[in-house]
Amino acid sequence: MNVSTDLYVEGESFTTELKITGHLIKSFADISGDINPLHTDPDYAKEKGFLKTVAYGNLLGLLISTLIGVKLKTREVMLISQTVNYRKPIYEDDTIVLTGSVTNIVSAVNSVELKLIFSNGRQTVASGMCIFKCL
């Protein structure tokens, strides 16, 4: 039996959060191989106008994965697409909260679109959208 988009209502929201730790940043560097000095060298980051090294923007994808895979009304879903627009840097020790709000439901293809807002508690650091399919 397939899960239906009838489970979702336009305007409803789902949230998850992630603490950006030094271990998480180091693990991402190790896995990705991205050792750009903006993420690894505090002096370089400060020279470029940042408070300290900037956490990897793609860590925000972890929040999308958790939101879609764990925080929805059912786990019988699959991520179809995502976009993230970065507005402000994120740093170690930030706690990022992702809120995904249902903006569109397409019953014909059993998919739901979410507007994504990433916040560090003080300001929006990124925004975007994703589409998931109900299986």
CA angle 121, 70, 85 (to 5 degrees): 45
Residue 40, SS3?
A: helix
Q: Which residue has the tokens 């925004």?
A: 127
User: What number is the average pLDDT over the span 68-94?
Assistant: 97
pLDDT digits (tens, 9 = 90+) for 14-54: 999 999 999 999 999 999 999 999 999 999 999 999 999 99
Q: With 80 as the cut, is the pLDDT of residue 1 above it?
A: no
Q: Are 103 and 129 in contact (CB under 8 A)?
A: yes
Backbone angles phi, psi at 89, to 5 degrees: -70, 155
- 77: tokens are 């879903």
Q: With 60 as the cut, is the pLDDT of residue 66 above it?
A: yes
pLDDT digits (tens, 9 = 90+) for 124-135: 999 999 999 999
Position 3 scores a pLDDT of: 83
